[in-house]
Amino acid sequence: MIFSALPQYVVDAAEWFSGNVADPKKRVCAAARRPIRDLREIEGALLVCSGLVAITSVDGSGARQTVGLRYPGELVVPFCTSRNVLIETIQNSVLDLTDIAAFAAALSEKPEMESVLRSVGNRDLAIASEWLARSGFRDAISRLAHLLCESYCRMGVDPGDALMLPFTQQQLGEITGQTSVNVNRMMAQLGRAALIERAGRAIVVKDWLGLTRLARFDAAYLR
């Protein structure tokens, strides 16, 4: 892998969470494309052991916009109790859940984790800001390219390797702010431009440099 894995503080947070917080340990296997209703009920936090989790804002009219993704090893710390925010699985996932009380209790026992969690929060904010910039002044195809680049990095996949993209085109649209119809056309265009090669949902990047240039992708914000 040419990419560094997750930053150290993310790893630290995950290890602390899985060792000290998720107690009583509640590990669940969630099917793909399912809202995690447990989490909303207990107002808790979770660790993505494997799979992929989306944080999606749902409009009154049913429109949906994903505002964050959590890859394996990353935490979902509740930052917004808004009723119209859903936590959903993208693919089959294994998750460690906890309620907010246990989370707070474990934190007060180990206050040095506060600063680690603050770093994790800063990273989440940096990613959200990058998404905002992306959705602001990039066109549809660049936004998709950017998401591909980010996914490769956050999953620690080498660009030369195939990436089994867990997203449906509908979900890609919810993340990048466009319709699934347009996602389809843009993905086809990425293929025609020889930047990627597709076989179903599997993706191989044929021209990483070209893809990052199109997306104006700079991985600095992931650390």
Partner DNA sequence: CGTTGATTTGAAACACGTCAATTCTTGTGG
Partner DNA sequence: CCACAAGAATTGACGTGTTTCAAATCAACG
Q: Tokens 């989440």 sit at which residue? A: 124
Contact between 139 and a second copy per CB under 8 A: no
Which tokens in the block code for residue 5?
A: 């894995």
Selection from 94, 98, 57 nearest residue 73 by Cα: 94
Q: Are 57 and 84 in contact (CB under 8 A)?
A: yes
Question: What does each C-alpha distance from 68 to 23, 24, 107 come to in angstroms?
Answer: 26, 27, 24
Contact between 57 and DNA per CB under 7 A = no
- C-beta of 105: minimal distance to DNA in Å? 38
**Which of 78, 177, 193, 221 is the binder for DNA (CB under 7 A)?**
177
The verdict on 159 binding a second copy (CB under 8 A) reads no
Residue from 139, 158, 161, 218 touching DNA (CB under 7 A): that is 139
Q: Which amino acid is at 80?
A: C
CA–CA separation, 190 and 192 (whole Å) = 6
Burial 46-63 (b: 16+ CB within 10 A, else e): bbbbebbbbbbbbeeeee
Residue of 179, 194, 209, 223 that binds DNA (CB under 7 A): 179
Residues 22-81 that bind a second copy (CB under 8 A): 55, 57, 59-60, 63-65, 67-68, 77, 79-81
* Interface residue list for a second copy (CB under 8 A): 55, 57, 59-60, 63-65, 67-68, 77, 79-82, 84-85, 107, 111, 114-115, 117-118, 121-126, 128-133, 135-137, 174, 177, 216, 218, 220-221
* Interface residue list for DNA (CB under 7 A): 33, 139-141, 168-170, 177-182, 184-185, 187-188, 198, 200-201
